[in-house]
Amino acid sequence: MAATDSVALVKKLLSDNWSAASTDSVTPIFRGRDDREELKEVTPGKDLIRVYSGRPRTRTRLGNRYEFGRYEDSVTVDVMTSGVGGATPIAPGVHITKVLEEIERIVNLKKNNPDAYWQWMEIDQLASTEAEYAKFNRALTNVILRRWGNVP
Question: CA 94 to CA 108: how far, in whole Å?
Answer: 21
The pTM score is 0.79
Residue 64's φ and ψ, nearest 5 degrees, are -85, -20
At residue 10, the pLDDT reads 92
Task: Tell me the per-residue pLDDT of 28-55, one tens digit each, with 9 for 90 and over.
Answer: 989 886 655 555 555 666 788 889 887 7
At residue 94, the pLDDT reads 77
Question: CA 32 to CA 36: how far, in whole Å?
Answer: 9
Interacting residues of 58 by C-beta distance below 8 A, sequence separation 6+: 71, 72, 73
Task: Tell me the per-residue pLDDT of 78-117, one tens digit each, with 9 for 90 and over.
Answer: 888 875 555 556 665 778 888 888 999 999 999 988 888 8
Asked if the model's pLDDT at residue 71 lies above 90, the reply is: no
At residue 105, the pLDDT reads 92
Across 128-137, average pLDDT: 49
Task: Tell me the per-residue pLDDT of 110-129, one tens digit each, with 9 for 90 and over.
Answer: 998 888 888 888 887 655 54
At residue 131, the pLDDT reads 46
